[in-house]
Amino acid sequence: MNPLIRQLVSPLLLAFVLDGADVAAAAKKAAPPRAEPAKPAAPAGDKLAIGYLAQQREYLPPLASFLSTATDAGVQGARLGIADDNTTGAFTLQQFELKETVIGADGDPAAAFKALRADGLRHILIDLPTEAAAALAALPEAADTLLYNVADSADELRGGRCAPNLLHLVPSRAMRADALAQYLAKKRWTKLFLAAGTTPQDALYAVAVKRAAPRFGLKIVEEKPWEHRFDERRTPESEVPVFSQGSDYDVMVVADENGNFGDLLSYRTWSPRPVAGTQGLVPTAWHPTLEHWGAIQLQSRFREQAKRWMTETDYAAWLAVRAIGEAAARTKSVDFGRIREYLLSDAFALAGFKGVPLSFRRWDGQLRQPVLLAAERSLVAVAPIEGFLHPRNELDTLGYDQPETLCKSPH
Partner 1 sequence: MTRFRPLVLSPLLLAAWFALPARADTLYVTLEKDNALAVVDGASGKLVKTVKIGKRPRGIALSKDAKLLYVAASDSNTIQVIDAASLKIVGKLPSDDDPETFALDPEGATMFVSNEDDNRVTVIDIAQKKAVKRIPVGVEPEGIAVSPDGRWVVSTSETTNMAHWIERHSLAIADNTLVDPRPRYATFTADSQQLWVSSEIAGSVTVIDAASRQPVKSIGFKIPGVTQEKIQPVGIKIDPQRRYAYVALGPANRIAVVDAKTLEVQDYWLVGQRVWNLEFSPDYKRLYTTNGLSNDISIIDLENRKVTKSVAVGQYPWGVTVKP
- The SS3 of residue 314 is helix
**What is the end-to-end Cα distance of the chain in Å, rounded?**
50
Q: Is 84 in the site for partner 1 (CB under 8 A)?
A: yes
* Minimum CB distance to partner 1 smaller for 89 or for 337: 89
Q: Strand runs (DSSP E) across 191-243, as ranges?
A: 191-196, 219-225
Residue 84: CB minimum distance to partner 1, A: 5
Q: Return the range that interacts with partner 1 (CB under 8 A); candidates 131-139, 158-166, 232-240, 293-301.
A: 293-301
Q: Identify which range of 56-64, 82-90, 220-228, 274-282 contacts partner 1 by CB under 8 A.
A: 82-90
Q: Shortest distance, CB of residue 329 to partner 1, whole angstroms? A: 7
Q: Quick one: 158 or 354, whose CB is closer to partner 1?
A: 354
Burial of 326 (0-12, 13-18, 19+ CB in 10 A): buried
Cβ atoms of 236 and 260 within 8 Å: the answer is no
Q: Find out whether the peptide bond into 384 is cis, omega within 30 degrees of 0.
A: yes
Minimum Å gap between C-beta 333 and partner 1 is 13
Which CB atom, from 80 or from 185, has the smaller least distance to partner 1?
80
* Nearest approach, Cβ of residue 356 and partner 1 (Å): 5
Sign of CA dihedral 323, 22, 46, 12: negative
Count of residues binding partner 1 (CB under 8 A)? 22
For the CB of residue 404, give the shortest distance to partner 1 in the complex, in Å: 22
Of 47, 301, 308, 362, the one binding partner 1 by CB under 8 A: 301
DSSP string, 349-365: -EE-SSSSEEEE-TTT-
**329 binding partner 1? (CB under 8 A):** yes
DSSP helix/strand/coil, 161: coil
As to burial, measured by CB atoms within 10 angstroms (0-12 exposed, 13-18 middle, 19+ buried), residue 47 is middle
Phi, psi of 339 (to 5 degrees): -65, -45
Q: Which of 9, 60, 92, 222 binds partner 1 (CB under 8 A)?
A: 92
| Nearest distance, CB of residue 22 and partner 1, angstroms | 24
Instruction: Rank residues 128 and 328 by Cβ distance to partner 1 and give the closer one.
Output: 328
Binding residues vs partner 1 (CB under 8 A): 84, 87-88, 90-92, 293-294, 297, 300-301, 322, 326, 329-330, 349-351, 355-357, 394
